[in-house]
Structure 1
């Protein structure tokens, strides 16, 4: 299976059922394809704000049902407008003497079905007004502009005024003002896949809608900043053309479906970095607001930050999907207090040894991609990155002349401190323990092989691994033992290489992240930590 669905034809109802278990809503009984979700506590005394459309945009629209936002939402099949009968049923379920407002996205199916439902409801005696959201700026003036994530801001602002007891005309006029001010555009790295359909991804596109329709053009952003710039530039141009000038803005970043939380964090930072700080009055917390199934993309919405808009957006709601409004600010930073030893001047230095260390750390830095690729086959793919981070920190200490390269014990202590601070991961801590314990043994008069064995013993004590457990110890222990037997660095390097190669036949790891990996994933695969250690010894032997 590629997605966590049951029967494709049941997806929409199962999504609504799951939402109704925790949200302040109740749903209509399943009948004739009608799916209506209403506020569980609705009493028809105020203007009912209703919205909806095809499913596949979750949490829109049902996630925004609750006091302070929507009185109800109507869901069609995926990317298919709900029927006239479904919209009419929602009006009957929520509309009292105060009337109701229909918030309609600018798609033909929605306009026709919601529009006919409004006409029929009017004949039945209901007071109905509607607004059409067309916030997409990607299309030229000759093309019908689509309703995008800006629709959610209409829900929130109209819902606030309805909850405050405003009459229908006031609520509708306020909603229209929001519609008139909205500007949105989306960018996606790939299209979405409908439940039950084969995966068929398109390339990156700018200016796409929320129903898997193609964008206005293909793009090829090199990174998140480049992608965000492709979106921000036309947005600012569009909103300035509407007469906003340098007016402050409400900013909203919407996840179109499958952007990871980390991606959204990076994109949000890039968004705020590319907008003039004085123009960012408020931000909606970045979230999935109006998605397009699993589309790997985002959209940005701008709205002039008029005082009544801001007040409405800041008001509390019961709807569980509203992420909240915040004030953006510049980052604050502070200096951390490092261990005193890291600020001490270096002791004795040895130029020849520093050159050798420089070559070793450079070998690790150059091995980053290969070690990461090796680790990615059975782990999280960061072994090379981790070792390279430690290597760069040691190289910086050499270049800054703060490594006591001529004092064995002190150098070992200092490298231990560097690795603990800058290398990260369990490897950084374990190697720091190795260096610290080795330094203590050297201080007591041990030679290098004896001191390293002391360090290895402490690594095993805290880390719990042993030789044969498919870790970096499988290269480190044989090399250290070779030194202890009176052999030179060449023999130690050979022993380290043999130990690393031997991990290819170890299909059952007992320690480290490989311990959680199935045996078939480890077969004929060298442990990346052991490979890194073998390369260190080989470089030491080469001089």
Structure 2
């Protein structure tokens, strides 16, 4: 009533014994034992779907196509979870799929130490076995059986009137402003990466530059004559192209600002509304050593005193982050590095954006 077949691309390491891998560079074994005993057949390394197809063919010879089975997908020790999911997907797309009613796993339910392989086991179902497999159990390591069902495909809702509201339009002043800011951010790529490397993974400049380039590339498609629609369009572009948490948070910032500006708020107050939403979802505040340390005082100054004071406040806010020895948000918060003397790259970018805007305003 149970058939099982394993395959692996490596042997396991036996504690206390020298590791000897009997496998060739491009070899795998089919039908190996749970304790690492040699398999009955040597096969070439192939893609997951082809390996699963071979196993399905061998297993099908012992199965009754007229009945249903439960399938256990077992990790023999060191297959990464992502690859086990690929294997599970391949099994459920194979010739075995039509007889599988329940699945258990994928998971390390019976391992052969650190063997880089997996096994497929099928048990013939009847009412008693099906009830038992679906019943709750105490051990947390046991993966509950789940019925095999087709996924629900839900069509994505389309924003009503979005395309009509964001038809391309031109405004020379807005175009110069957007282009100037993007060009400044692109020019800062190396500088921001260097600042980020002190505590992060050194890619803030590349991430910001990618977003800026994406906006520049789409400059002719923006509704520049409509400020609120322009902010919303920039939010859409950043969410799709910028990547990372910063892309998501800046998308929230611009989208919320667009909604507030469309509702009649001034630009400064709309940007403050965007900041409020961004900090709500991102969790960072003043003193946490993020872009908020420059952006919040700058936007408050913009609302109360104007652009020149906003640029000064942004610069002071960015410089203040160099005296913060530990971050309380973002990646550097859990790295735990001491950061005193280094300016936060996000805050530095904000200060540079305001400086570029002031320079453009003075030139005009």
Alignment of 1:35-434 (within 5 A): 178=2, 181-187=3-9, 194=15, 206-207=28-29, 210-211=34-35, 226=47, 228-239=48-59, 242=61, 250-258=70-78, 263-275=83-95, 277-293=97-113, 295=114, 297-303=116-122, 308-311=124-127, 313-316=129-132, 320=139, 323-337=143-157, 340=160, 342=162, 344-347=164-167, 349-350=169-170, 353=175, 360=182, 378=200, 398=218, 403-416=222-235, 425=245, 428-429=248-249, 431-433=251-253
Q: Which of 271, 286, 290 is 1:471 aligned to?
A: 290
Following superposition, the deviation at residue 232 of structure 1 comes to 0.7
1:206–1:218 contact (8 Å) kept in structure 2 = yes
Find the residue that maps to 2:165 and give its secondary structure: coil
Counterpart Cα distance in 2 of 1:312 and 1:282: 14
Counterpart Cα distance in 2 of 1:356 and 1:274: 52
Partner of 2:333: 515
2:77–2:108 contact (8 Å) kept in structure 1 = yes
2:100–2:148 contact (8 Å) kept in structure 1 = yes
Distance verdict in 2 for CA 1:292–1:392, change over 3 Å: farther
Counterpart Cα distance in 1 of 2:57 and 2:6: 12
Any gaps of 5 or more consecutive residues in structure 2? none
Task: State TM-score, norm by structure 1.
Answer: 0.43
Following superposition, the deviation at residue 257 of structure 1 comes to 3.4
Task: State TM-score, norm by structure 2.
Answer: 0.59
- Per-residue CA distance 1:463-511 (angstroms, 9 max, x = gap): 4522x53212356569878992299xxxx7xx98998798577431134
Distance verdict in 2 for CA 1:413–1:328, change over 3 Å: same
Task: Give RMSD over aligned pairs.
Answer: 6.0
2:199–2:335 contact (8 Å) kept in structure 1 = no
1:500–1:526 contact (8 Å) kept in structure 2 = yes
2:249–2:278 contact (8 Å) kept in structure 1 = no
Distance verdict in 2 for CA 1:200–1:236, change over 3 Å: closer
Following superposition, the deviation at residue 299 of structure 1 comes to 0.9
Counterpart Cα distance in 2 of 1:425 and 1:441: 24
Following superposition, the deviation at residue 273 of structure 1 comes to 3.1
Counterpart Cα distance in 2 of 1:523 and 1:213: 56
1:438–1:455 contact (8 Å) kept in structure 2 = no
- Per-residue CA distance 1:195-250 (angstroms, 9 max, x = gap): x89999998973365446788879877xxxx3x2353132134235x476977765
Counterpart Cα distance in 1 of 2:356 and 2:20: 47
Partner of 2:308: 485
Counterpart Cα distance in 1 of 2:110 and 2:117: 10
Counterpart Cα distance in 2 of 1:332 and 1:507: 49
Following superposition, the deviation at residue 324 of structure 1 comes to 4.6
Following superposition, the deviation at residue 254 of structure 1 comes to 0.7
Counterpart Cα distance in 1 of 2:212 and 2:26: 36
Following superposition, the deviation at residue 410 of structure 1 comes to 2.6
Distance verdict in 2 for CA 1:322–1:509, change over 3 Å: closer
Q: How many residues align?
A: 334
Distance verdict in 2 for CA 1:452–1:235, change over 3 Å: same
Distance verdict in 2 for CA 1:515–1:263, change over 3 Å: same
Counterpart Cα distance in 1 of 2:65 and 2:118: 22
Following superposition, the deviation at residue 451 of structure 1 comes to 5.7
2:9–2:27 contact (8 Å) kept in structure 1 = yes
Partner of 2:260: 440
Distance verdict in 2 for CA 1:298–1:377, change over 3 Å: farther
- In the alignment, does 2:276 pair up with 1:458? yes
Counterpart Cα distance in 2 of 1:200 and 1:524: 51
| More contact order relative to length (CA 8 Å, sep ≥ 6) | 2
1:186–1:209 contact (8 Å) kept in structure 2 = no
